[in-house]
Amino acid sequence: MATRYPGVIPPHMLKRLSEHGSESQRRWASSTLSTDRHFRQPMAAREMAAALHAEYSNSPRGTPSRYIFDAGHKTELPGELVLSEGEPATADDTAHEAYTDLGATYRFFYDVFERHSIDGEGMALLGSVHYGEAYQNAFWDGRQMVFGDGDGEIFLPFTRAIDVVAHELTHGVTELTAGLVYYNQSGALNESISDVFGVMVKQYQAGQTVDEADWLIGAALLGPEVQGKALRSMAAPGTAYDDPVLGKDPQPGHMDQFVDTTDDNGGVHINSGIPNHAFYLIATELGGYSWETAGAIWYAALTDERLANDAQFVDFAGLTMAHATQRFGSKVADIVQKGWQQVGIGP
């Protein structure tokens, strides 16, 4: 079985939808939950992906290698190749969006951190669109991105949200650097790091400063009838949505509200709100562009060999303070420490 993280839509949202949605919404949410629980990537798909990586993961530094497939509403991966690097746009908007978002994510990591693709060595970026029937998620399976079309009512096509695409690709970066265990605090930290880099990619593409950004994750995914603005809010965890069908956003923004649960690998999508909020507080206090100082500190901590795969929030906080001191001096380190303290982490 390929390494694979649950999708950007957390299980608690899909479970709620499967219980409180309309008949069709319940059906599609239940189908997505079942697919997520029983996902297996067929051997032929793994071999094809490995062959593509071997053949195409040799692009020159500064140039991505993107390959978009159409799964044809089936769950066999990767599907039919419909768009390759450098080819003109196809008539399929979804395939074009996936191609564009993969490129924007590559460009951010390369321009800002000089990282040549996910593995730092030019790994090909593969994406499959139109996965499953009204599949309400997107995920990184250890080799490629996979995008559902949503049901068109609660969730729109998942290629529409560049922060979601960058979020999932960052799981690949984390997997190949810190390898954070996807459970409890290390799992929530894994999810938070994906949100942090996802929101930075969105801000980078838009040229937004920390004061201009909305600090929302997945704002482009929610259907027009949903009472909410996004999947998550880094500025105000717990306020992203409050909907009769989806329920209320359960994310805490402080360790005082940390959620102890066995669901969702120990609440990885819920408790990620705490380090998310710390990054928001630190980045906005520092000002300017999020990736210039706060992002540089987060990337240095993520790629630091001292970061254990079972790291707790306080461990990561300590590394960010160390890198802030080393790279930017005591004034910035004090801001980083204060941000973590504001969410109940650190001395």
DSSP string, 192-203: HHHHHHHHHHHH
Binned at pLDDT 50, 70 and 90, residue 343 comes out as very high
Averaged pLDDT of the chain? 93
Pick the range with the lowest mean pLDDT from 22-26, 55-59, 119-123: 55-59
**Where does the pLDDT of residue 290 fall: very low under 50, low under 70, confident under 90, or very high at 90 and above?**
very high
Clarify whether residues 156 and 195 are in a common domain. Answer: no
pLDDT, residue 344, reads 98
Helix axes 184-206, 264-271, angle to 10 degrees: 40
Predicted local confidence at residue 256, as pLDDT = 97
Res 4 pLDDT > 60: no
DSSP letters spanning 27-74: HHHHHHHHHHHS----HHHHHHHHHHHHHH--PPTT---EEEEE-TTS
Lowest mean pLDDT among 29-38, 167-176, 267-276: 29-38
Among 153, 168, 175, 191, which one carries the catalytic annotation? 168
The pLDDT of residue 35 is 87
- Residue 90: what pLDDT? 86
Q: What is the pLDDT of residue 2?
A: 43
Task: Verify that 96 and 232 share a domain, yes or no.
Answer: no
Helices and strands per DSSP (H, E), number in the chain: 11, 9
Residue 168 annotated to the active site: yes
Same structural domain, 202 and 332 = yes
| Residue 95 maps to a domain | yes
Q: Which of 167, 269, 277, 323 is catalytic?
A: 269
Strand partners, 217: 232
Flag the least confident range among 80-94, 187-201, 328-342. 80-94
pLDDT for 89 equals 83
Question: Is 269 one of the annotated active-site residues of the chain?
Answer: yes
pTM over 0.75: yes
Task: Please check whether residues 189 and 245 belong to one and the same domain.
Answer: yes
Confidence of residue 58 (pLDDT cuts 50, 70, 90): confident
Helices (H), 114-233: 162-176, 184-206
Domains in the chain: how many in total? 2
pLDDT the model gives residue 1: 37
Question: Looking at residue 44, which CATH number applies to its domain?
Answer: 3.10.170.10
Nearest by Cα to 130 from 169, 163, 82, 95: 95
Structure confidence by residue, pLDDT tens digits, 157-197:
999 999 999 999 999 999 999 999 999 999 999 999 999 99
For range 307-328, the mean pLDDT: 98
128 pLDDT higher than 70: yes
Residue 262 confidence (pLDDT) above 80: yes
- Flag whether pLDDT at 44 surpasses 90: no
The encoded tokens of residue 230 equal: 């996004």
Q: Which of 127, 160, 193 is the last residue of a domain?
A: 160
- Domain identity same for 190 and 290: yes
Domain end (from 107, 125, 160): 160
pLDDT at residue 321 tops 90: yes
pLDDT over 80 at 10, yes or no? yes
- In this structure, the answer to whether residues 142 and 190 fall within a common structural domain is no
Q: Check pLDDT > 70 for residue 45.
A: no
Q: Output the pLDDT for position 260.
A: 96
Domain range for 32 is: 11-160
Confidence of residue 50 (pLDDT cuts 50, 70, 90): confident
Indicate if 132 and 16 belong to the same structural domain: yes
Q: Find the CATH number of the domain harbouring 298.
A: 1.10.390.10
